Each structure stands twice: as C-alpha cells, then as structure tokens.
Amino acid sequence: YLFATYIAPSATLDIGLQQEKKKEIYMKIQPPFEDLFDTAEEYILLLLLEPWTKMVKSDQVAYGKVELVEETRQLDSTYFRKLQALHKDAFSKKAEDTTYELGTGISPLADASKQTEYWNNVPEEYRHFNFNDLLNNKLEFEHFRQFLEARSSSMDLMCWTDIEQFRRIIYRDRKQREAKSINIKNKYLNKKYFFGPNSPASLYQQNQIMNLSGGWGKILHEQLDASVLIEIQKHVLNRLENVWLPLFLASEQFAARQKIKVQMRDITEELLLQKRERKIGPVESKWISSSCEIIAFRKALLNPVTARQFQRFVALKGDLLENGVLFWQEVQKYKDLCHSHCDESIVHKKIMTIINCFINSSIPPALQIDIPLEQAQKIIEHRKELGPYVFREAQITIFGVLFKFWPQFCEFRKNLTDEKIMSVLERRQEYNKQKKKLAVTEDEKFAKDGIKQSASTSGSAVKTSALVSDPVLGLQAYSPQPTWCYSKYIEALEQERILLKIQEEMEKKLYAATPSFTNFKSTASAMSLKKSVSSYNIQ
C-alpha cells in the first residue's frame, strides 16, 4: 500500500523519488524488512528541511515585530506581605464562622457573594471538580459523606440520594414509587429540615414549593408529585454544590489525597513506559533518537570502512560488542539473500551458519552476542515458523545496544583522520591486551605464593595444637594470605613509565654528541636503566 500510494511510478501521491531508488525498494519489497523505506524517508527529510528552516525564520521575523510593552509593578514589599497575611486570616475566620453556622443550623442558604467566597478558597487546580465527579468517584464520594457527617450536615446528601432513587424507579412500578414518595415526605418535608431554619431553600423558595404541592394540608395527607420532588432536589443540590463541595475541596485531607494520586499516576506511567520500551525495543522507541540518526547509523554499519572502525571501537567497551557488529552485518546479508529469491536450501544454510556462529556456538560461551537467553532460545526452537523474520528481534536488540556507543564513536573520530583512527584503536587494544596479560601473570604468581604460604602455615599448624583445637582458627591458619595491593601495583607502573621516559630523554641527549662516544654512553646508560627497571619489577 505504501509503495503503491507514494513511490510507484503511477502513485497518486508520488513523493518524487529517483527511479533507481524506486527500483531498489521494489526489489526488496518481498519479504519486507523494517529498513525497506529508509531511502525514501531520508529523501523526504532532506526535502522538508528547506521549507522547515524558512518557516522557522519567518516565525522569528514575526516574533521580532511584536511590540514589547514595559510595565513596572511592585510585586513584593513589607506592606504587601502584611496586607496578604491579614487578608488570609480574615478569610480563614470567615470560613470557620460559616461552617459553624451551617453545622449548628443557625444560618439558612448562603447568598451568591458567600458562595463565590467559598469557591475562592478552593485551590485553582481543584476548581474543575463538580458534584458529578464525586458521584463517579466512589471513594471520594464516601469521603464527602464522612465530611458532612463530621459537621452534622449529612441530611442534604441523604435527601438528594433518596429523591434520586425515587426518580430511577420504573414508572410502571406505582406501589414502590408511592411508598418512596411517602417516605421522602415524612422524612424531609417537615419543620426540622426543609421547612425549618436550616433549610436548603430560602423562605421565598419554600413558599413556592408549598404552592406547587397544593398547600400544607395536601403535603400532610397526600403523596407528592414527581415535579415537586424534582424542585426540592434542585434546591438541595444547589447547597451541596455551592456550599459543601467547595468547603470539602478546600480541606487539607482532600489535597493530601490528590497529591498521593498524582504520585501514583506518575509511577504507573513510568512503569508503563518502561514496559512499552522493553516490548517494542529501544530503536522504535520515540525517546531514543530521531530518524536521521538511526538512518545514519545504519548506513555506517553498511559501510565496510566505518563498520570496521566502529567494530574496533566497541571491542574496547565489551567482549561481545565486536561480535554484535558482525552479527548485524551477517543478518543484512541474509536479508539480501532472501530478496534474491534463491533456493530455499541456501537460505536455510545461511540461517544455520548464523545460529552456529553467534547464537549456539560450539566455542564457549554458546551465545556470542548481547541478546537475552529467551530470545536466543526462541530463534533456535522456532526458526522454521518465524520464516524470513527469524533474526528480526535479535537484530533490533543488537542495533539498540550498539547505537548507545555511536555518539561516543562520533566524538572520538571528530579530530582524527581515517588512517589515524585505526592506529589509535589498535594501540588501545594492544594496551588492553597487555594489561590483561599482566593481570593474569600477577594472579598466577600470587596463587603460587599462596600455595607456598599455605604449606608453611600447615607445617606450623602441626606444631601448634592450639590452632587445631579451634575449627575457625584452624581454617584461618590453612587459608592463603594475599600480599598483593592494587594501589602499590599502579604506583609501580607509574614509576616504570617515568623511568622509561627519562631513558628516552637521556638517549636523545647522548645522540646529539659524537658517534663513538654516543654509542658507548648510550649502551651503558641503557643497560643501567634496564637493570634498575628489571630490579624494580622483581621487587
């Protein structure tokens, strides 16, 4: 579909790719691998770069034309801070007074100015909360109910809930509706609640409800209409939303719960992101790099000279990384073999060669590349079922591992020519080999010293019966005592380097003199220095 829409000669949305590149993509279309459209992607990115830079420049010009207005404000002063503190104290006192009045039942429904005042006390990030949000969140709804109970004002919520239950009863079930209506009337429409001093409705609104229901006598002896109950519910909801809800949102307990939720959400998002990155691989993750860098790295691995340099570079970083470069290149060759549509037996031989060389090697370790064991097992067991994509996951994993070292390599080769890169890397590799050999010889030497020391300690153990009587002391006596110290070893290497440097300087000075004298003196000085170095090494 992608090829037919954007690349084919008769494509409806032809991107204008060169004919050679089109042919190259067409030849690799069966089977398709993830790098199939790399050439097209690179072409598009270069094509879009010019208009993108123009757009950025035009934005900068437009921004430069915006008029800048300077305004001086007194943001902080001692008087302002004092005024702010007094204002805060006044607000907190008012909030306490209103909660007390509503809790004790002295004050009726708050007016519009007080309602605005309640919402002003709510932090900005919680002002979007409404009563429906509480209904959808069962946990917060329960906290809201407890909040009202603590202030002896749970009657509003109970009334709203009972009327809501009445409204949800099926219209055909008349008996249940009648029973519920009578229950609501007896429970709430009395002088203790709705028609009392602590009513959610004003005196005018109470009279309206009275007229709507047909007077006090009808309220006492007959059931109420649904329209009357709905009007009552509106007044109750008004107080819940404009008085109790802002007080609840402004409470410290609510703010503390929201902070915990935010932290938990962040942790969950981070875990999901990590899981997604592990699942899709580091290359396809949007956090790792741009398309340009990935394409550039792929091209570098396909370039024999750059690939060889990079291979030497990563060999210094880890034992299996060098094999990773070779594996990636071999898989690319395997892909080309698939695209050539040759005999299946040849393709199968190539698969087995890659497996025997890198994934199930006869030379230990069996796994010669840096991929998980499960992935290697999957390739060995399901190689026939996976078809041409047998090495896809392993190649992506290796690509991701190697890509981490690509920026370091680019930085390393920045100030070096191609000839010098290899010589520098070879010197480093030789130095590492020598270092390893020294470590091995030192270990062998100390192992021998340890055996001798253990033999001497065993002889002393025969003589002294006190050590043998205690099993712990006996074990300590038989164990070899290490005498090697890393810091002394480094110090010795440093001193050896200094001595060699002195030797070179002396030789240069001696060569400047007469030939016969130079030959005699240089050999003598060299011999003396070599003796001193060798004696120091022995020490």
Statement to judge: residues 215 and 328 lie in one domain: no
| Residue 405 identity | F
Statement to judge: residues 176 and 296 lie in one domain: no
**Alpha-carbon dihedral 385, 386, 391, 394, rounded to 10 degrees:** -100
What pLDDT, in 10s, does the model give residues 160-195? 888 888 888 887 888 888 888 888 888 888 888 888
What whole-number percentage of the chain has pLDDT above 90?
Answer: 2
Assess whether pLDDT exceeds 80 at residue 325: yes
Under a CB-based contact definition with an 8 Å cutoff, are residues 201 and 90 in contact? no
Residue 132 lies in a domain: yes
Residue 127 lies in a domain: yes
Domain total for the chain?
3
Residue 370 lies in a domain: yes
Please give the helix or strand (H or E) that residue 203 lies within, else none: helix 203-213
Assess whether pLDDT exceeds 60 at residue 99: no
Q: How many CB atoms lie within 10 A of CB 362?
A: 7
- We report the CATH number of the domain holding residue 419 as 1.10.167.10
Please give the Cα distance from 99 to 148 (Å, whole number): 10
pLDDT at 453: 58
Statement to judge: residues 322 and 381 lie in one domain: yes
- We report the CATH number of the domain holding residue 184 as 1.10.167
Statement to judge: residues 244 and 298 lie in one domain: no
Among 232-246, 300-314, 413-427, whose mean pLDDT is lowest?
413-427
Residue 255 lies in a domain: no
pLDDT at 55: 94
pLDDT at 54: 92
**Alpha-carbon dihedral 94, 97, 101, 106, rounded to 10 degrees:** -90
Question: Which conformational region is residue 304 in: left (phi greater than 0), alpha (psi within -120 to 50 degrees), or beta?
Answer: alpha
Statement to judge: residues 318 and 406 lie in one domain: yes
Assess whether pLDDT exceeds 90 at residue 272: no
Among 13-22, 47-56, 215-224, 379-388, whose mean pLDDT is lowest?
215-224
Tokens encoding 242: 């404009």
Please give the Cα distance from 537 to 539 (Å, whole number): 5
Residue 462 lies in a domain: no
pTM beyond cutoff 0.75: no
Residue owning tokens 């900068």: 60
pLDDT at 449: 66
Q: Which domain does 33 fall in, by range?
A: 1-61
**Better-predicted residue by pLDDT, 324 or 108:** 324
Closest CA relative to residue 368, chosen from 352, 389, 382, 354: 354
What whole-number percentage of the chain has pLDDT above 70?
Answer: 72
Under a CB-based contact definition with an 8 Å cutoff, are residues 187 and 224 in contact? no
| Rounded average pLDDT over 12-28 | 88
Among 95-104, 120-129, 298-307, 507-516, whose mean pLDDT is lowest?
95-104
Statement to judge: residues 238 and 294 lie in one domain: no
pLDDT at 468: 38
pLDDT at 283: 43
**Better-predicted residue by pLDDT, 446 or 521:** 446
Under a CB-based contact definition with an 8 Å cutoff, are residues 287 and 277 in contact? yes
CA quadruple 298, 299, 302, 307: dihedral positive or negative? Answer: negative
Among 20-34, 269-283, 343-357, 456-470, whose mean pLDDT is lowest?
456-470
Under a CB-based contact definition with an 8 Å cutoff, are residues 163 and 184 in contact? yes
Closest CA relative to residue 166, chosen from 153, 178, 156: 178
Statement to judge: residues 226 and 358 lie in one domain: no
Under a CB-based contact definition with an 8 Å cutoff, are residues 152 and 103 in contact? yes
From residue 236, give the alpha-carbon distance in Å to each of 111, 155, 176, 201.
Answer: 14, 9, 23, 7
pLDDT at 101: 46
Assess whether pLDDT exceeds 70 at residue 111: no
Tokens encoding 61: 């010009």
Please give the Cα distance from 285 to 282 (Å, whole number): 5
CA quadruple 301, 303, 304, 306: dihedral positive or negative? Answer: negative
From residue 132, give the alpha-carbon distance in Å to each of 109, 119, 129, 136, 227.
Answer: 21, 17, 8, 6, 22
Please give the Cα distance from 394 to 379 (Å, whole number): 9
Please give the Cα distance from 175 to 284 (Å, whole number): 64
Statement to judge: residues 11 and 138 lie in one domain: no
**Alpha-carbon dihedral 296, 299, 301, 304, rounded to 10 degrees:** -130
Among 82-96, 199-213, 219-233, 295-309, whose mean pLDDT is lowest?
82-96
Which of 436, 461, 484 lies at the terminal end of a domain, its last residue?
436
Statement to judge: residues 207 and 141 lie in one domain: yes
pLDDT at 52: 92
pLDDT at 260: 74
| Rounded average pLDDT over 66-89 | 73
Statement to judge: residues 419 and 294 lie in one domain: yes
Residue 508 lies in a domain: no
Among 5-19, 112-126, 263-277, 495-509, whose mean pLDDT is lowest?
263-277
pLDDT bucket at 520, cuts 50 / 70 / 90: very low
| Rounded average pLDDT over 354-362 | 88
**418: Cβ contacts below 8 Å, ≥ 6 apart:** 305, 309
Residue 18 lies in a domain: yes
Which of 219, 250, 281 lies at the terminal end of a domain, its last residue?
250
Statement to judge: residues 173 and 295 lie in one domain: no
Query: Which segments of 174-221 does DSSP mark as H helices, in order?
Result: 174-188, 203-213, 216-221
Under a CB-based contact definition with an 8 Å cutoff, are residues 325 and 395 in contact? no
pLDDT at 536: 46
Which of 218, 250, 282 lies at the terminal end of a domain, its last residue?
250
Statement to judge: residues 430 and 330 lie in one domain: yes
The torsion angles phi and psi of 449, rounded to 5 degrees, stand at: -60, -40
| Rounded average pLDDT over 251-260 | 80
Residue 446 lies in a domain: no
